[in-house]
Each structure stands twice: as C-alpha cells, then as structure tokens.
Amino acid sequence: MRRCPARCAPRASRAPTSTATSRRSTVATARSLPAPPARGRATRASTSGWAPTSSSARAAGGSPCTPAQPGRSAPPGQVGSRDPADAASTSRSTAPSSSPSSSPSGSSATSPLPAERADEVHPGRRRRQRRRRAPRRVVEGPPGSRGPAPRAAARRRCRVRRRRTRAGGAGQGRGPGRARCPRHDRARGQGRRRRHRRAGAQGGRGRPPDRGRDRGPGPRRPRPRCRCDDALADLAAVAPLIRVRPGTVGWVSALRFSGPVLPDGEVRDVYVVDGRVTYERPAGLTGAETAGEGWILPGLVDAHNHLGLEDGGAVDDAEIERTAILDRDNGVLLTRDCGSPADTRWVQDREDLPRLIRCGRHVARTQRYLKGYGHEVEPDGLVDVVAEQARAGDGWVKLVGDWISRDEGDLAPSFPGDAVAAAIGVAHSLGAKVTAHCFGEESIAPLLDAGIDCIEHGTGLTATHIDQMVAGGVALVPTVLQTSKFPGFADAGRAKFPDYAATMEQLFARRREVLMSAHEAGVALYVGSDGGGSQRHGVLHEEIRAMADMGLSNEYVVGAASWRGRAWLGWNPGLDEGDPADFVVYPRNPVEDLSVLLEPSRVVLRGRVVA
C-alpha cells in the first residue's frame, strides 16, 4: 500500500504553521499554475511520486493524492511531487509575492512534513470504496478543460494511473511514459493480455469482484485454443476478396486449384464458388491464391462400409463421427453404408462428413447372422421387413444371402427363392435397389433370378452366374480385404463345423480366379473396404492396392473407386462445369502411383477444404 506523507499525517504532528495560512498558500499555488492544455490535463508535475493537493482541488473532483508518472500529466486541479521540499519549492516559484493568498510574512505557507507520520495508511482508498455506489455529481472542470467532468470519471483516472505507476525499466522493461499496470504485466508474461472491465459493467467498475488487485501473481489459466483457428487461417489464406459491387469488397468462398484433372488428365485451373466447380475465372476476382496444386481426382467412393457398426453391434454417435472423419481424411467423400444397426441419418446433415447413402439394417434369417447386427426375420415376414427398410433407407436394401447353418454345418441360403423374389419385387416397386451378402455358391442363383442389383463379396460365383450378371447389369463389390480373412474364419470353426471350414478354404483359394473372370467378362466391379465390424475404417487405399495386386489395372481400380463408382451411385462422375466440388488433390498421379492415395494434400468436400 502506498503512503502519502502530505495528507496522511495527523494534524497534531505537523509543523506549527497556521492551518489557514497553509490552505491559502496551497490554493494560491494551484491557481498560479499555468493553464492546462485543451484536453483538460494540467502541466507536468514532478517526475515521480505523490504530492499534496489542496482542498479546493479535491472539491473539484480530484483525488487527495495523484501519482505523477514519468512522461505523463497530472489531472486537472492537481499537482504532484514526492518530496515535500520539491512541493515547497514549486509553491514558492509559482505563487506571486503579491498574491492575496500568501502568508502575512511573505514566506511560503507549505509546512514541512514529519517523516515519522508517513506510515499512516492513506484514506483515499476507503473513500473510494464508500463512494463506489454514490450517484455521480457533475462539477465544472478547471480552466482550459473540455467542460464538466464526472467526479467518478476523475476517480477512475486517478485509480488507473495509480495502478500503472512503477519505476521505468521494471517488469517488462518499458521506459518512461510506457508503463503498464501490474495486471497487464502478469498477463503479458503468460503470453496474453487482458483489458480492465469498463465502469458500470456487471461485477463492479474496473475488474470483476473476485479479481482484486490483492490477488497474487500466481499462474493464470491460458485461454483454450479454438479448434477453428487453423481452419479460419487456412480459409483466409486461400479465399480471396472478390468485388461484389462497385465500391464494395466482400468475403466469398472462392478457391482456386491447379493441376491435371482426372480422368482425362488435362491441366486446368479449377475454381470453387458456392460449393460448385467452375473453370471460368469469376468476374472481379483479383489476387487469388492457389489453394492447392497437384493431381485432382473426383472424391473416392467406399461402396461397402458400415459406419455405425463394430464387433459388438451398434456404436454411439461419437464413434460414428470418428470413423467418418477417418474415412474422409483418406479421401473418401461418398459412402454406401451396407447395413448398420445405428441410426446414421444425422451424418447427412453434417457438411464436414462424407456424403452417405444408407441401406438400412441387414435383413437376416432368425439366428442365422451375427447377434445385434441385423433385423432378423422368418421367410413369411421378409416382404414386410424389406418394404420397411426400403422406405427408411436411401434407395438401397441389404439382404444376408447366406450364412452358416448349424443344422447343416456349412454355408446355406438364408431364405427360399420365392420369398427372395417377392421381397426384391417389393423393393423395386418402392424405388429401392437390393444388394446381398453372398460367400457361397448356392445362394447366388435365386438372387440373380429375382433381379437383384448387386452382389457383395461374391467368392462363390461360377461362369453361369457371371454371364447372368453381365446380362442383367448386376454389379460386384468383391471386398478383397475381407475375403482375405477366410482362412481365419475356417480355423475358428474347424473343430465344430469342419465342412464349413473346408468351404471357406476353397472359396479363399479361388477368389482371384473368380474376380478376374468377372472382370474379363464385363461385370462392373466397385471398391468397398467393408469397414466396421471385423474390419478397420480408413483403409480404402489398402483395398485399392489389394484389388490391383489381384491383377486389375491401376486405372480400372482408381476409376472404380472414383468416377465410375460415383456415377453408379448417382453422383457426378467427373468434375464438369457446375458439378459439386467434391475432390481430392494429390502430389502425384494416383493412377501411376497408388501409394500416393495415402497422402492427399487437399480434401475438398462440398466446396470446403476439410483436410
């Protein structure tokens, strides 16, 4: 706590100078000072410390003591000096000898201040506390000021200056005239700066009530970093200013990408405006920065995925979001969810998550599928359940065509042919397509006869099946990563179901032959990771590599995972004028180097850079 040796000493201890004489002399001194500048501040006082102030100055709204800082002016009606001798000399030098306020003897009326009384606490702080809630009184300012000044404002100026007063070079090393208050110094040491709260704000003037100046310089909790800071910085770097109308400039989401655009590979400048692709430079665009350079590929498609599924069944929304972001960051911008027990409709409302086509829940035979995965039903109720899933999904229904039968001890069709035919007919009448999980051979023929649209896995295809698929335009999603686990499935069931184990080993042995036969015959192949359940998410690039290792060309597999897959699911195959801006930028040509699929440099979804 600072002390004021001038006003804090008891009257009994002061020098025997007349009180009236002292007051008259001090008033004369204040009146004889040069007029303050136009901004309402007096001329500079002493270079440091506190100084006595006349009672008339206090009546004009001043504080009993005013800190005089290096390079700063004192408030109106106040003078400042730490040393009593300096105050006395100032009074003598500024008061004229003929002034009526001088002492009768003509000498200075400023009495010396006893040093032994300098330890008394200054009452100014207590008066400020008593007057915090007092109504404002407007008083006339001193000559040269801008007009009436609120008394409360004068007190606040005094308080702010008192907080800021310290020796030059202390704290952060600021010199005279650039001192900061201690709270700013502490905040600055923590890598941040806080401003004092305005007068009249909730919690009192100056600062919140629980954060007084007596609070020690302990550690401060840093402001949490906003997760959007980086994204906003990236947007500011790549979104240029476009002239909206003459004389105005506004922010618009205009991004420019440059490089070969697949599948044709023509080098072009791609502009993204309002989430759409355009190859014409927007009118008025100046100084646009390139948001990405490289090989531009239409967004990847995972045609067989399970966002809301894991080994134990359905997952919560947080896990769905995590897996969707994992797929997205690997370039997957369109997903067909081939059966999920969780409700994933909310994903379609998120602009930062991949576009989603839902197939509803698996439709399986009772006790003939993984527990908690699908909607289990008997053959006589199949039609009703399929109709329900067709209405609830996004144009697709997923059937479980075959699974292990405990009665037979081997793979067997889930439903009889007539029930399958009726169910597929109902789905088509409702505008939905049907796909089916098929490992073995026996379940495929009834499905093809009923007019199914797609086969998942398809390791049991025969030449007859392949010809029928070509004739009917039935697609195949081989899920090579999933079928590579067949030996493990066989080992798991060998002790209890030896026939099943033998079948799975045979299917694994001929899976490459089946895949290449279907491809050479003209069956449309698409890429699906089967993420979820027993398979990981974010591995579509591994599925593409695995299909290429089976003998398919890089161009065919990349096309099946990009432009051809998008067209099959009803989306724009390429990046034509006005198409949705869903694409991935790679540093190298992914058709020539499949390993680059693991390292996209930019992922653009709905016209926004999301990764």
Residue 93 lies in a domain: yes
Do 144 and 24 share a structural domain?
yes
Residue 403 lies in a domain: no
Phi, psi of 540 (to 5 degrees): -65, -35
Q: How many structural domains does the chain have?
A: 2
pLDDT tens digits for 72-119? 444 444 444 444 444 444 444 444 444 444 443 444 444 444 444 445
Residue 589 lies in a domain: no
Of 494, 568, 461, whose CA–CA distance to 525 is shortest? 568
The half-sphere exposure of 502 on its side-chain side, counting CA atoms within 13 A, is 5
Query: How would DSSP label each residue in 172-222?
Result: TT--TT----HHHHHHHHTT---PPBPTTSTT-SBS-TTS-TTS-----PP
**Cβ of 156: how many Cβ atoms within 10 Å?**
17
Query: Residue 315: is its pLDDT beyond 70?
Result: yes
Tell me the pLDDT band of 372, cut-offs 50, 70 and 90.
Answer: confident
Residue 212 lies in a domain: no
Do 158 and 259 share a structural domain?
no
Structure tokens at 472: 């009917």
Query: How would DSSP label each residue in 413-474?
Result: ESS-HHHHHHHHHHHHHTT-EEEEEE-SSTTHHHHHHTT-SEEEE-TT--HHHHHHHHHHT-
Query: Residue 214: is its pLDDT beyond 90?
Result: no
pLDDT tens digits for 354-371? 999 999 999 999 999 988
Do 128 and 18 share a structural domain?
yes
Domain boundary, last residue among 165, 190, 205: 165
Please give the residue range of the domain that contains residue 264.
228-296
The per-residue b/e assignment along 178-205, b for 16 or more CB within 10 angstroms, e otherwise, is ebbbbbbbbbeeeeeeeebeeeeeeeeb
pTM: 0.62
Query: Residue 71: is its pLDDT beyond 60?
Result: no
| Spatial contact of 424 and 451, defined as CB atoms under 8 Å apart | yes
How far is Cα 84 from Cα 26, in angstroms, rounded to an integer? 13
Residue listed under structure tokens 């599925």? 543
Do 156 and 20 share a structural domain?
yes
Amino acid identity, residue 430? Answer: L
pLDDT tens digits for 529-552? 999 888 899 999 999 999 999 999
How far is Cα 414 from Cα 438, in angstroms, rounded to an integer? 10
Structure tokens at 467: 């010809």
pLDDT tens digits for 114-155? 444 445 556 666 666 666 655 555 555 555 544 455 556 666
How far is Cα 363 from Cα 436, in angstroms, rounded to an integer? 9
Phi, psi of 144 (to 5 degrees): 90, -5
Residue 594 lies in a domain: no
Phi, psi of 300 (to 5 degrees): -70, 155
Do 262 and 144 share a structural domain?
no
Residue 432 lies in a domain: no
